[in-house]
Structure formats: structure tokens, C-alpha cells
């Protein structure tokens, strides 16, 4: 088997994907658009800014002026709460991204240089930098010489899922990696029906090389889609994936699963129209069951168990652990091993079926 020819066949598969305008839209634009829409639907629009809770504990005129400054800021969509406990509960439940408590005696503290406000946040979901900087700027602007402290307070989250763009970015990574790989099954069928595979075999190229090259092409497509969304999530939406090395490993392992299913479908289905009709519904259905449309934390035990029959659920569990709980590769090893088990079962069957289809 020629490694050079395997890589050449795989590269041609990737070039075919990037040559079609409709495929470019689904690979580049659609995942980011969906991430944008879902991310903003959670925390509000750009015009209103981020939802921030505010509590005035009887601070006095200067404290009220501070709150007025915060409420005028375009970076903040202010929500008033009656007391600190109510605010902390809202932060824990994700109703607001952060909170500000202006204490009683704030005005007196300004006069003797000991004034402070409390910034409440959830360690599992970092408050946006724009919110932190807005609060600090408003506080410090009350004196030419900054003498007001901003005390940071974190509260434990009652949710186990990351907020903002983090969850939709990970969910769309899993969803579109699988769907794009499945769409590649159509190209695999076209190579067979158009006689491309037979023409390759007419050259000094072994069956093993052709089969390995076509399977590697499905893997290249899946990896390209997954890593593209991973990088775009970090650069465009500021998603913190936690342990980046573990996130990359997770993308590679899930791409292997998607490749296995795509190769199997491409070797079993009779024509490319079947593959194009089959891929999106299957990908969306598995995504719904596996937590790509909504977190499995909000469904009942039965649906959660059914969801974990899909590889998507295990991949989402691992991403949630990385982003919300600061897990590393060792901590997500159980999920990675389950995904490898999917590949270990499906990939040999897919390669065998592809070999039969190529030589048949």
C-alpha cells in the first residue's frame, strides 16, 4: 500500500468538498450563523448588552449615581434585584452573566477611601471582559485618583453546562462534523458509480490503497469541519474550551466515529441521491438525541439514557466537562474510550464493505 497515493486520494476528496459553493456555505457559514443566533438568544442582543444584576443596599446618592452610570452603559442590560441572595441565585441559574452589589455605607467609604463594590460571578462561566471593565471604569470614574475597590465574589453554579457561546459552539461542532462527514458519503458513491475507483485500480494501485485513500478522505473532511469550528469558536466567539489539547483529541476521536458511519453509508447506499437525502435527517436526529439541540441535563432519565446510545452524547459530555468544570484529558478518558469503541466496531465493517463495493 502506497502512503503517498493514500494521501493523494484523501486530498482530492477534500478538494472536491471545497470546490462546490453550496458545500462551502454549509461548511463555513451555516455552523457559525447557528452558533451566533443561539448564543445571542441566551444572553440577549448586541444592542442591549449582557444581562447584569444590580443590587443597591442603601448606598446613598453617590452609589445611586454609580448604578445610573452602569445602567447607561451599552455593554450592560441591567436587571435590578432586591437583595444579594436573590442576585446570587440568579447568577447561579444563569439568568444573568454577573452581578454588582453596591453596599450600604458606600458614600461614606468614598470619603475615607475605603469604598468597595462586590462583583458576583460564576467560576464555571467567566463573565465577559466588557462587563468587568465597564464596572471597574464606572467605579473608578467617581474619583480622579482611584480609591474604590472592586471585590470579586464567585458563586457555585447549580448548572453543569457552560453558558454564552460555549455550549452552542461545541454542539454545532459535533453536529456539523457528523453531518458533513455523512454528506461525504455521496461523493464516495459517485466515485464508485462513475467508475473512478475502477479506473484507479486499472493503474498500478492496489485495492488496499484505494480503500484506505477513500476512507482517509472521509476522515480529512470530518477533521477539517471539526477543527474549523473549534478554531472559529475560539477566535470569533471567544469560546474557552479549557484544555485545548484535550479538545483537539476529542475532535479527532469523534471525527473517526463520523468517518466510520460515513464510509459505511457510502459503501451500502445505492446512489448519491439516497446519501444526500439520508445524511441530514440522520445527523439531526442523532444530534437531538445526543444533546446538540438542547442540553441532556434538561431531559428526563429515560431520554438521557437513550441519548447516550449515540456518540454525540458522549462527545457533548466531554466538551461540557472541559468547558464548565475545567476537566483535562484524563478526566474525559471514559468518554474518549466510548467513542473509540464506536470506531473500533464500525470502522472495520465500513472498510470491509467499501472493499466489497470497490471490487464488486
Q: Is 223 in the same domain as 306?
A: yes
pLDDT at 35: 75
What's the pLDDT at 360? 63
Question: Do 194 and 96 fall within a single domain?
Answer: no
Same domain, 252 and 329: yes
The mean pLDDT value of the chain amounts to 81
- 252 versus 162: the higher-pLDDT residue is 252
Q: Which residues constitute the domain of residue 65?
A: 45-154
266 and 245 together in one domain = yes
Claim to verify: residue 289 and residue 309 sit in the same structural domain = yes
Do the beta carbons of residue 55 and residue 101 sit within 8 Å? yes
Q: Are residues 106 and 189 in the same domain?
A: no
pTM of the predicted protein model: 0.66
Higher local confidence (pLDDT), 176 or 198: 176
C-alpha cell at 117: 463594590
Average pLDDT of the segment spanning 249-269: 91
Q: State whether 215 and 124 are in the same domain.
A: no
Q: What pLDDT, on a 0 to 100 scale, did the predictor assign at position 7?
A: 80
* Domain end residue (candidates: 88, 120, 154): 154
Residues 135 and 231 in one domain: no
119, 154, 189 - which closes a domain: 154
For residues 122 and 135, the answer to whether their CB atoms sit within 8 Å is no
Specify whether 103 is located in the same domain as 11.
Answer: no
**Could you tell me if 81 and 218 lie in one domain?**
no
**Which candidate, 271, 277, 246, places its Cα nearest to that of 339?**
246
148 pLDDT exceeds 80?
no
Domain boundary among 93, 126, 154: 154
Residue partners of 222: CB distance under 8 A and separation at least 6 = 177, 178, 180, 181, 184, 254, 255, 256, 258, 259, 262
pLDDT band at 212, cuts 50/70/90? Answer: confident
Structural domain total, the chain: 2
Using CA atoms, how far residue 69 sits from 66, 135, 234, in Å, is 5, 9, 31
Could you read off the pLDDT of 306-330 as tens digits, one per residue?
999 999 999 999 998 898 778 899 9
Q: What is the mean pLDDT of the segment spanning 75-81? A: 86
Q: Which residue has the higher pLDDT, 246 or 134?
A: 246
Residue 246 shares a structural domain with residue 339: yes
Q: Would you state the pLDDT for residue 25?
A: 77
**Is the pLDDT confidence value at 55 over 90?**
yes
Q: Is residue 106 scored above 50 in pLDDT?
A: yes
Specify whether 113 is located in the same domain as 89: yes
CATH number for position 111: 3.40.1710.10
CA distance 3 to 8: 9
Amino acid at each position: 500500500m502506497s502512503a503517498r497515493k493514500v494521501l493523494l486520494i484523501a486530498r482530492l476528496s477534500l478538494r472536491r468538498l471545497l470546490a462546490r459553493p453550496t458545500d462551502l456555505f454549509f461548511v463555513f457559514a451555516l455552523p457559525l450563523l447557528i452558533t451566533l443566533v443561539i448564543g445571542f438568544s441566551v444572553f440577549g442582543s448586541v444592542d442591549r448588552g449582557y444581562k447584569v444584576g444590580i443590587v443597591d443596599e442603601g448606598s446613598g446618592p453617590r452609589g445611586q449615581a454609580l448604578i445610573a452610570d452602569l445602567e447607561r452603559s451599552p455593554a450592560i442590560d441591567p436587571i435590578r434585584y432586591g437583595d444579594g441572595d436573590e442576585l446570587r441565585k440568579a447568577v447561579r441559574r444563569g439568568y444573568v452573566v454577573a452581578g454588582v452589589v453596591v453596599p450600604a455605607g458606600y458614600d461614606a467609604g468614598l470619603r475615607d477611601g475605603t469604598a468597595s463594590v462586590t462583583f458576583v460571578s460564576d467560576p464555571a462561566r467567566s463573565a465577559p471582559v466588557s462587563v468587568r471593565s465597564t464596572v471597574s471604569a464606572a467605579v473608578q470614574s467617581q474619583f480622579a485618583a482611584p480609591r474604590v475597590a472592586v471585590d470579586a465574589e464567585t458563586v457555585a453554579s447549580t448548572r453543569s453546562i457552560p453558558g454564552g457561546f460555549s455550549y452552542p459552539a461545541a454542539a454545532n461542532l459535533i453536529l456539523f462534523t457528523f453531518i458533513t462527514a455523512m454528506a461525504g458519503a455521496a461523493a464516495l458513491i459517485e466515485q464508485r458509480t462513475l467508475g473512478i475507483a475502477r479506473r484507479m485500480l486499472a493503474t498500478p494501485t492496489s485495492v488496499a490503497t484505494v480503500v484506505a485513500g477513500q476512507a482517509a478522505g472521509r476522515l480529512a473532511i470530518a477533521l477539517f469541519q471539526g477543527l474549523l469550528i473549534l478554531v472559529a469558536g475560539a477566535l470569533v466567539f471567544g469560546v474557552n474550551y479549557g484544555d485545548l489539547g484535550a479538545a483537539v483529541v476529542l475532535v479527532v476521536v469523534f471525527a473517526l466515529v463520523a468517518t466510520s458511519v460515513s464510509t459505511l453509508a457510502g459503501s451500502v447506499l445505492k446512489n448519491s441521491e439516497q446519501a444526500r437525502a439520508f445524511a441530514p435527517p440522520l445527523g439531526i436526529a442523532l444530534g437531538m438525541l445526543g444533546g446538540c439541540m438542547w442540553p441532556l441535563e434538561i431531559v428526563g432519565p429515560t431520554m438521557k439514557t437513550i441519548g447516550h446510545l449515540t456518540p454525540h452524547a458522549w462527545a457533548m459530555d466531554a466538551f461540557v466537562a472541559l468547558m464548565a468544570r475545567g476537566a483535562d484529558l484524563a478526566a474525559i478518558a471514559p468518554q474518549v474510550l466510548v467513542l473509540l469503541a464506536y470506531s473500533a466496531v464500525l470502522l472495520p465493517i465500513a472498510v470491509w464493505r467499501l472493499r466489497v463495493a470497490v471490487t464488486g
